[in-house]
Amino acid sequence: MDPMSGPHLIRGSVALPEAELAWRFSRSSGPGGQHVNTSDSRVELSFDLARTEALPEVWKRRALERLAGRLVDGVITVRAAEHRSQWRNREAAAVRLAALLAEATVPPPKPRRPTRIPRGINERRLREKKQRAETKRGRQGRDWG
């Protein structure tokens, strides 16, 4: 791994603004050895989505709308505690935040234009249906021996 990875890209050339990220460190829960009581390896990364200037206005509106349930006063927080080293947890948190923002800012899908069924196909279907009905009707009411 590189010493300190570069900016975490959200999408295109827009990256997480390093200056607007707020980090908090605390001790991870769960079992561990002697080292566990002294190391603050759990990472919380907060990003003020409501006040940021780093995202294009359209993206910001989309993200605020889609992440509304996860925001606290316009701030989004991600946690990472799966690695033993704080540095790797920082990486994980940053990657997670970038992915979250990338997903929340994608443009909505284009509306689907319904396609028309060609008339010939519909007519053929009805013709075959009639044919089938005839075949079945021919099987009724006869005494086959």
3 in helix, strand or coil?
coil
Whether the pLDDT of residue 1 is over 60: the answer is: no
First to last CA, the chain: 84
- Tokens of residue 1, six digits: 């791994």
Q: What is the pLDDT of residues 93-140, one digit of tens each?
A: 888 888 888 888 788 889 999 988 888 999 999 999 999 999 998 888
Q: Which pTM does this prediction carry?
A: 0.60
Asked if 21 contacts 77 with a C-beta cutoff of 8 angstroms, the reply is: no
Mean pLDDT over 23-28 rounds to 79
Higher pLDDT, 83 or 113: 113
Report CA 58 to chain centroid distance, whole Å.
Answer: 18
Which residue type does 52 have? Answer: T
